[in-house]
Amino acid sequence: MRLPSGLQKTSGAGMSKIYLAGPMSGIKDNNYPAFFAAAELLQGAGFEVVNPAAIAHDDPGVWAACMRKDIQAMLCCQTVVLLPGWRSSRGATIERNLALDLDIPVIDLSRLCGL
C-alpha cells in the first residue's frame, strides 16, 4: 500500500498509532464490520491501530460516555483515519475537528485506498 503524506511508519521500535473515526450510531451492527476491516487493512500494512469498535465501554448505550473514552484513546495516536460516511457522523466529525485543531494528521480512508 502506498502511504500518503501524513501517514508514515515511525522508524525504530515504535510504530505510528492510527485512530479510526467513522459512523456508528444508527448503522447496522454499529458499523463494526467496517471498523474491523479497516483495522485489519492498516495492521497488515504494519500500523498499530486503535479501533473504537474494540474499546470496552462502561456504558455502551450512552453516546457521550463512549465519546469521552474514544477521544482519550485518539489523543494517544499520531494519525486519524476517517472511514467512509464520516461526514454524516456527529462523533467522527468531532474527532476529526479535534484532531485538526491539535495538529494530528487526518486522512480519509477512501483516499488512502484509492476508492
Q: Which amino acid is at 92?
A: A
User: What mean pLDDT is reported for the chain?
Assistant: 88
* Fold exhibited by the domain 17-22+34-112: Rossmann fold (3.40.50)
Torsions phi, psi for 20 (to 5 deg): -95, 130
pTM of the model: 0.86
pLDDT digits (tens, 9 = 90+) for 52-99: 999 998 888 899 999 999 999 999 999 999 999 999 999 999 999 999
Cell 455502551 sits at which residue?
60
What are the domain boundaries of the chain?
17-22+34-112
Do 66 and 57 meet the contact criterion of CB atoms below 8 Å apart? Answer: yes
Nine-digit cell at 27?
A: 448503522
Q: Which amino acid is at 74?
A: M
Higher pLDDT, 42 or 15: 42
Do 54 and 20 meet the contact criterion of CB atoms below 8 Å apart? Answer: no
